[in-house]
């Protein structure tokens, strides 16, 4: 127990933020998809603890996240995860100055679990409840990791649920530039891995297989890459192209593809290169179009070694500043929820009727704000 930490009332927190000995202490909660996570952070972006309980083992046999299983697992894990985060930070609930929770976008049932836990803490402790937009948080991971003010920037989110590009004017003011029109990049990795019998989650499995393969072995399509008028992605046709290559058109899926280990590695490497080409092409186009000199990349697919390598080469070639967080801040975590401090500073404190908003707001006529949590 850190006896030096003062327990602020709501009012003194608002007026004294950042000026006390310890600064403001915030518990952040993340349960948007299949990771149950909690962290304790300060308004100076110090990370006092971070706990992530992955559900990979539960979803493995289905080759993807099963929403009902995810929400049930969140219910079982949320309190132990929060307890562990407080314990690791050497504090108790009484030391918290605010509690923040990701309430959008994500799986409805999963979001509700984190939201309910955070509301209960806000109510019981009489502390401010703050909302976290999960997409904005993925970009903010670059701010936390670099220690630099990365805004304004182009934000690129590539995960299991999203593949999108944003003009990020401030940490909490995003305009969508483009997004996938079908599958997300991570979803394509997961589905192709499943087709190749490589297991779940597919991204790391494809990456491992690709290390032993030839990325020039098969020329898979690069959907929308040559369309210079749009900043959108499409991975569904690429996934189908891999399927046709592996099992043939019109044939049913097979349990294990009848390819040799080397052929599987070649398919994995060629598929990965096609995805990376699409992502890099649109990231470069977004930087050029917006005239912004900084690109911040986040989401699980940003953990991909080949993608990171190609991004670094692209930044060097085109002269823009690139930020990609370390791996554990790319995949879902609660540390990136420290973005809540930006909303707190902007006076955005939520009432206890804050709702979960599962959907992502898509652009209409090419321009849209990402929407409020
Ligand atoms: O951001 P994240 O943890 O959760 C979502 O918000 O979706 O992203 C998970 C996704 C999964 O589809 C997983 O296969 C992918 O990120 N992923 C990767 C890698 N590590 C995780 N994809 C490609 N290469 C990786 N090394
Ligand atoms: Zn995510």
| pLDDT tens string 78-122 | 999 999 999 999 999 999 999 999 999 999 999 999 999 999 999
Task: List Cα–Cα distances, 161 to 32, 41, 140, 151, 283, in angstroms.
Answer: 10, 26, 18, 24, 18
At residue 93's C-alpha, the angle toward residues 6 and 95, to 5°, is: 10
Strands 35-42 and 163-170 come out as unpaired
Question: For a substitution probing ligand 1, which of 160, 162, 185 has the most ligand atoms within 8 Å of its CB?
Answer: 160
Residue 10, CB half-sphere, CA atoms under 13 Å: how many?
A: 13
- Any residues with Cβ below 6 Å from ligand 1, and which? 33, 159-161, 186-187, 189-190, 201-204, 207, 299-301, 303-304, 331-332
Question: For a substitution probing ligand 1, which of 135, 159, 308 has the most ligand atoms within 8 Å of its CB?
Answer: 159
Q: Which residue has the tokens 């493995």?
A: 60
pLDDT at 365 over 50: no
What predicted TM-score, i.e. pTM, was given to this entire model? Answer: 0.90
Q: Of ligand 1's atoms, which has the minimum distance to the CA of residue 299?
A: 1
pLDDT confidence band for 17 (50 / 70 / 90): very low
Q: Of ligand 1's atoms, which has the minimum distance to the CA of residue 298?
A: 1
225 CA distance to ligand 2 middle (Å): 24
**Under the phi-then-psi rule, with left for phi > 0, alpha for psi from -120 to 50, and beta for the rest, what region is 250?**
left
Structure tokens at 349: 């404190």
Rounded CA separation 289/291 (Å):
6
Q: In this predicted structure, what is the pLDDT of residue 373?
A: 61
301 CA distance to ligand 1 middle (Å): 4
Quick count: other Cβ atoms within 10 Å of Cβ 15?
8
87 CA distance to ligand 2 middle (Å): 25
Lowest mean pLDDT among 15-29, 34-48, 56-70: 15-29
Q: In this predicted structure, what is the pLDDT of residue 247?
A: 87
Q: Of ligand 1's atoms, which has the minimum distance to the CA of residue 184?
A: 12
Which one, of 228, 251, 226, 256, lies nearest residue 240 by Cα?
251
Hey, whose CA ends up nearest to atom 2 of ligand 1? 300
pLDDT over 70 for what percent of the chain?
89
Q: Of ligand 1's atoms, which has the minimum distance to the CA of residue 162?
A: 7
Hey, whose CA ends up nearest to atom 22 of ligand 1? 203
33 CA distance to ligand 2 middle (Å): 7
Task: List Cα–Cα distances, 11 to 15, 27, 324, in angstroms.
Answer: 6, 18, 37
134 CA distance to ligand 2 middle (Å): 6
Hey, whose CA ends up nearest to atom 16 of ligand 1? 300
pLDDT over 90 for what percent of the chain?
82
Lowest mean pLDDT among 120-129, 146-155, 250-259: 250-259
- Starting from the CA of residue 210, give the closest ligand: 1
pLDDT at 15 over 70: no
Which helix or strand (DSSP H or E) is residue 154 part of? strand 153-158
- DSSP H helices, the chain, are 10-16, 56-59, 67-88, 108-125, 134-146, 185-195, 202-211, 236-247, 261-290, 305-318, 327-330, 340-345
Higher pLDDT, 373 or 348: 348
Q: In this predicted structure, what is the pLDDT of residue 69?
A: 93
157 CA distance to ligand 2 middle (Å): 8
Paired strand residues for 29: 38, 101
pLDDT confidence band for 19 (50 / 70 / 90): very low
């Amino acid at each position: 127990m850190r006896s030096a930490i003062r327990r602020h009332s709501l009012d003194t927190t608002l007026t004294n933020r950042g000026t006390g000995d310890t600064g403001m202490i915030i518990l952040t909660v993340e349960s948007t998809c299949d990771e149950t996570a909690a962290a304790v952070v300060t308004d100076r972006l110090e990370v006092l603890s971070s706990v992530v309980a992955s559900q990979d083992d539960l979803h493995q046999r289905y080759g993807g996240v099963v929403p009902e299983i995810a929400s049930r697992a969140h219910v079982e894990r949320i309190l132990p995860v929060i307890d562990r985060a407080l314990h690791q930070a050497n504090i108790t609930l009484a030391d918290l100055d605010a509690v923040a929770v990701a309430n959008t976008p994500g799986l409805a049932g999963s979001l509700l679990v984190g939201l309910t836990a955070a509301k209960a803490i806000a109510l019981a402790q009489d502390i401010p409840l703050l909302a976290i937009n999960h997409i904005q948080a993925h970009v903010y991971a670059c701010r936390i990791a670099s220690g630099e003010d990365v805004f304004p920037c182009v934000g690129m989110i590539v995960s299991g649920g999203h593949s999108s590009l944003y003009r990020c004017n401030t940490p909490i003011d995003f305009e969508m530039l483009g997004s996938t029109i079908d599958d997300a990049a991570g979803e394509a990795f997961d589905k192709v891995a499943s087709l190749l019998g490589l297991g779940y989650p597919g991204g790391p499995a494809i990456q491992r297989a690709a290390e032993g393969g030839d990325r020039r072995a098969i020329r898979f399509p690069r959907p929308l890459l040559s369309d210079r008028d749009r900043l959108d992605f499409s991975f569904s046709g690429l996934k189908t192209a891999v399927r046709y290559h592996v099992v043939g058109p019109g044939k049913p899926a097979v349990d294990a593809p009848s390819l040799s280990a080397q052929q599987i590695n070649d398919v994995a490497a060629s598929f990965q290169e096609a995805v990376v080409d699409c992502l890099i092409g649109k990231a470069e186009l977004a930087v050029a179009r917006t005239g912004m000199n900084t690109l911040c990349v986040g989401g699980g697919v940003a953990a991909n070694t080949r993608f990171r390598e190609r991004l670094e080469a692209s930044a060097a070639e085109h002269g823009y500043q690139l930020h990609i967080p370390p791996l554990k801040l790319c995949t879902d975590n609660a540390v990136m929820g420290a973005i809540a401090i930006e909303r707190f500073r902007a006076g955005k404190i939520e009432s206890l009727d804050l709702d979960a908003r599962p959907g992502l707001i898509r652009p209409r006529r090419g321009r849209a704000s990402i929407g409020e949590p």
